[in-house]
Amino acid sequence: MKKDSVTLIDNRTGKQVELDLLKPTCGPMTMDVRSLYKELGIFTYDPGFMATASCWSDITYLDGEKGILEYRGYPIEQLAEGSTYLETCYLLLHGELPSKEEYDEFEHSIKHHTMLHEQLLRFYSGFRRDSHPMAIMVGVVAALSAFYHDDEDIHDPQDRLAAAHRLIAKMPTIAAWSYRYAQGMPFVYPDNSLGFSENFLHMMFSMPTEKYTVDPLLAKALDVILILHADHEQNASTSTVRLAGSSQANPFAVIASGIASLWGPAHGGANEAVIKMLTEINESGKPLSSFIERAKDKNDRFRLMGFGHRVYKNHDPRAKIIREICHEMLAQDKCQNPVHQKLLDTAMELEKVALEDDYFKSRNLYPNVDFYSGIIFLGMGIPLNMFTVLFAVGRTVGWVSQWNEMMADPQSKIGRPRQLYTGAPTRDYVGIKKRS
């Protein structure tokens, strides 16, 4: 039987090299180019990793052509329907759904790691009140590395799990407190009697002076959104986490690097950018078509935020689920707000016009997860600059699971891409006095 391989011929020398094709559980065969440099003395060039698998992974599978997203083999639609965020965290971290006993133990551990060291509170006051909460989050999560460093052995699976639990548990506290700090409101400590999403809403919105009851509809919607954001294989922030972690750096510092990468508007910052764009459209008084034309104009930096995806060339399955939640929430009397309703109406119109436009059709540009999530967050009373923070809260489990997978792999190597050098060739240094 013929071996699954590809033979490359260097046309300059006629030298051949046979490269093995690695077979994934699902998805395209992957050419193993590791021997290429040794055999032919050449590198591969793939900026932005358009066709390069940077690692193997058992965690998440996505098929961008078919619009499939699965965590550990379970379709995202089924998890959104039947699971909870915390159960999904267990699944992503451990590879299997937990038994009742395993779940209880996991929940207990997460709930008992939600507090922050009191000393960490002082970090907040170092920030300006108008700091973006993502800036605070990057700083505070990185600061955790100072609290958990010398005692941690990243080569010990138990220590890695402890770091993972701490990060999943503390992220909502850090996130909610970055909002409270900006508002000049007292920090609210976690309440272990509440579920993961309920607790986040409690820390965001409750006041010491009044009893706060978490709205179960909002808690449920938030839980589903967190599930949808929990992992997305080797995206920019996850790849950042893997690269930073590959040098065996402190896990808290590593996750801070992931948060920094997520912040960009081409990645997790898009949910905030979508609302800004929809507001601009509504306030401009200009027809929608003028924005569509701007998005198509290569000389204009304006893009339709919440549209397009590097991998999904079909509907983003997360967007489909989130679109329904968005409609359900706005249909509820208590969530109705004319401004939010108008944003949703504009979003719906924009979606319709773009999906019928040849520019978007020919480039397979569909609404992504961020197109609707912002409207839901607004409906929950979550301010604009907290949207990406919530993405980070949800994605934390993905980052720690991917980091843990990489660290557990004995074959793991420090990430060190090569380059196609295009600078000056070797030349001699000339002293400043002799330079004309």
> Which of 308, 374, 379, 398 is in the footprint of ligand CMC by CB under 6 A?
308
195 belongs to the binding site for ligand CMC (CB under 6 A): no
| Burial status of residue 395 (CB atoms within 10 A of its CB: 0-12, 13-18, 19 or more) | buried
- Give the tokens for residue 199: 């607790």
Which residues, 6 or more positions from 377, have their beta carbon under 8 angstroms from its beta carbon?
Answer: 271, 386, 387, 390
In the complex, residue closest to ligand CMC by CB: 308
Residues 335-364 contacting ligand CMC, CB under 6 A: 363
Are 174 and 140 within 8 A, CB to CB?
yes
116 belongs to the binding site for ligand CMC (CB under 6 A): no
Which residue lies nearer to ligand CMC by CB, 198 or 316? 316
184 by DSSP, 3-state: which? coil
Phi, psi of 54 (to 5 degrees): -85, -15
Q: Which amino acid is at 366?
A: Y
> Which of 113, 132, 170, 232 is in the footprint of ligand CMC by CB under 6 A?
232
d(CA 174, CA 217): 23
365 belongs to the binding site for ligand CMC (CB under 6 A): yes
> Which of 142, 169, 241, 305 is in the footprint of ligand CMC by CB under 6 A?
305
267 belongs to the binding site for ligand CMC (CB under 6 A): yes
> Which of 177, 179, 307, 399 is in the footprint of ligand CMC by CB under 6 A?
307
Task: Select the span of 19-27, 175-183, 275-283, 297-305 touching ligand CMC (CB under 6 A).
Answer: 297-305
CB of 315 to ligand CMC, least distance (A): 12
60 belongs to the binding site for ligand CMC (CB under 6 A): no
Which residue lies nearer to ligand CMC by CB, 215 or 357? 357
Residues serving a catalytic function are 309, 370
61 belongs to the binding site for ligand CMC (CB under 6 A): no
320 belongs to the binding site for ligand CMC (CB under 6 A): no
303 belongs to the binding site for ligand CMC (CB under 6 A): yes
256 belongs to the binding site for ligand CMC (CB under 6 A): no
Are 272 and 168 within 8 A, CB to CB?
no
Task: Select the span of 243-251, 336-344, 366-374, 426-434 touching ligand CMC (CB under 6 A).
Answer: 366-374
| Burial status of residue 204 (CB atoms within 10 A of its CB: 0-12, 13-18, 19 or more) | buried
d(CA 419, CA 43): 8
Cite the DSSP H helix spans in 154-297.
157-183, 196-205, 216-229, 236-245, 251-262, 270-284, 288-296
367 belongs to the binding site for ligand CMC (CB under 6 A): no
Which residues, 6 or more positions from 56, have their beta carbon under 8 angstroms from its beta carbon?
Answer: none
Residues 33-52 contacting ligand CMC, CB under 6 A: none
315 belongs to the binding site for ligand CMC (CB under 6 A): no
Phi, psi of 7 (to 5 degrees): -100, 125
CB of 244 to ligand CMC, least distance (A): 18
**Residue among 181, 52, 46 at smallest CA distance from 125:** 181
Which residue lies nearer to ligand CMC by CB, 242 or 267? 267
Which residue lies nearer to ligand CMC by CB, 92 or 305? 305
d(CA 316, CA 375): 17
268 belongs to the binding site for ligand CMC (CB under 6 A): yes
Chain positions contacting ligand CMC, by CB under 6 A: 232, 235, 266-268, 270, 295, 303-310, 363, 365, 368-370
